Amino acid sequence: EMKVNDVLLGMTQAGLSRYLSKKYENEDSTVEKKQFLEKIRLRGTVAVNLRPDTKIEDLADMMAKGSKCRWGNFMGVVLFPLWIKSEDDPLEYVRRAKATMDMKKVSM
């Protein structure tokens, strides 16, 4: 199941890839500049929800005496490797982002 965050990460990777490709792969570029894209390693951070359930509690239930609802945020941060490579299919960036995030979530 694809999430909004997977699509946003895929769009970010696609945008960065296209920007860096246009900047470093033009005809006037030196060999060093063209090889820059092969060597670059970019990372980003993504906030993730660490709660065991994701349902939204009613405020009245949370404020009731003896309620088992928990207050506060339970969040973590994932270090996310950004895929910087030109792809013909723009959806490939989204598929890669989803696969990477799924692996990261399993490892938590």
Q: Is the pTM higher than 0.75?
A: no
Q: Contact 46/82 with Cβ under 8 angstroms?
A: no
Q: What is the pLDDT of residue 27?
A: 65
Amino acid (one-letter) located at 19: Y
Angle between helices 91-106 and 4-24 (to 10 degrees): 120
Helix (H) or strand (E) holding 44: strand 42-49
- 67: nearest Cα among 76, 52, 82, 57: 57
Tokens coding 104 = 């990261």
Q: What are the distances in angstroms from CA 17 to CA 23, 34, 62?
A: 10, 13, 45
Q: Contact 84/43 with Cβ under 8 angstroms?
A: no
Question: What does pLDDT average to in each consecutive run of 10 residues of the chain (108 residues)?
Answer: 90 91 75 77 86 68 71 81 87 93 84
| 97, burial (CB in 10 Å: exposed 0-12, middle 13-18, buried 19+) | buried
